[in-house]
Amino acid sequence: MKKTINYNDIYSRLENLDIFDSVKVLDIIDSSNTYAKNIAREYDRAIVIAKAQTSGRGRVGRVWLSDFDGCLMFSVLLKPNLSLDMLSFLSQIAAKSLHQSLAHHIKKDATLTIKWPNDIMLGGKKISGILTESVIDNVNRPVVVVGIGLNLFGRLPDELAEIASTIEAETSYRIDTVDFVERFVLDFFREVSLYEQLKAVDTRLIDYINSVFYLADKEVEVDGVRAICRGIDFRGNILIGDSVISSGIVEENRQ
């Protein structure tokens, strides 16, 4: 039997939440992030779910592989009441919500971690990535799109086998996707609302991320400098040796 994602049930559950002005499930688009940015004039809060993408995008200009059935791909559009310098932490809020909602479904013996800034790792392999993009609307309000790709099942290309995987391949079961998406959305908007109120990062979030931090105590390399990773600080910056780094590509030293 061909395994599929139950998009009708995801749609109904999200419609019932009363969070979004618009819930869209689309058969094939270029990228749900691009689509979400294009509808930002019409809606303040929307979620765009793509069954397939022709130009799925990843961080730092990478391509996100979007042509296998078992990848859940969606983008959340929001207009948070935050200053521009506070927007980058939204990505890490999304990673925390993603981790927490997945942890509810994944048995405790499987190691589910967050790799800074916002990859979700299972058994040491990437199962999910987040691409957060922001623009300013015509009244100077931030428009943010948080795009998520989650590998549920299916076959990834052989060249990715070392670094990426699916939930099914790592655990031999499939999670309840409808419940997962609902949990993610509720937790994400709860955390965003708290962040808007506090106008600061809640230390509880930093503690959570550090407690499931994939790179902790590992030797990593950034900009040619190798050192031991000490987790993240109170702003979400990564701590590598004596360096504090706010953005960039951190390579794990696998030797």
Q: Does 190 bind ligand BTN (CB under 6 A)?
A: no
**Could you give the C-alpha distances from 57 to 74, 88, 135, 215, in angstroms and in order?**
12, 18, 17, 24
Name the one range near ligand BTN by CB under 6 A: 84-92, 94-102, 126-134, 234-242.
Answer: 126-134
Cα(234)–Cα(203) distance, integer angstroms: 7
**Least distance between ligand BTN and beta carbon 65 (Å):** 9
Smaller CB distance to ligand BTN: residue 58 or 241? Answer: 58
Neighbours of 190 (CB within 10 A): 12
3-state secondary structure of 126: strand
Tokens of 19: 């969070």
Tokens of 70: 């078992």
Q: Does 236 bind ligand BTN (CB under 6 A)?
A: no
Tokens of 9: 């049930």
**Binder among 32, 97, 165, 166 for ligand BTN (CB under 6 A):** 32
Smaller CB distance to ligand BTN: residue 73 or 229? Answer: 73
Q: Does 40 bind ligand BTN (CB under 6 A)?
A: no
Nearest in space to 242 (alpha carbons), one of 252, 229, 253: 229
Q: Does 195 bind ligand BTN (CB under 6 A)?
A: no
Nearest in space to 134 (alpha carbons), one of 96, 89, 87: 87
3-state secondary structure of 220: strand
Name the one range near ligand BTN by CB under 6 A: 5-13, 31-39, 169-177, 191-199.
Answer: 31-39
**Least distance between ligand BTN and beta carbon 160 (Å):** 12
Closest residue to ligand BTN, Cβ-based? 129
Q: What is the DSSP letter of 248?
A: S
**Least distance between ligand BTN and beta carbon 76 (Å):** 10
Residues 116, 179, 42: CA angle, nearest 5 degrees: 75
Cα(32)–Cα(199) distance, integer angstroms: 29
**Binder among 23, 75, 121, 167 for ligand BTN (CB under 6 A):** 75
Q: Does 154 bind ligand BTN (CB under 6 A)?
A: no
Instruction: Report the b/e string of 119-145 with b at 16+ CB within 10 A.
Output: bbbbeebbbbbbbbbbeeeeeeebbbb
Q: Does 131 bind ligand BTN (CB under 6 A)?
A: yes
**Least distance between ligand BTN and beta carbon 1 (Å):** 25
Tokens of 242: 């004596």
**Least distance between ligand BTN and beta carbon 199 (Å):** 27
Q: Does 80 bind ligand BTN (CB under 6 A)?
A: no
Q: Does 56 bind ligand BTN (CB under 6 A)?
A: yes
Residues that bind ligand BTN (CB under 6 A): 31-33, 53, 56-59, 62, 64, 73, 75, 119, 129-131, 147-149
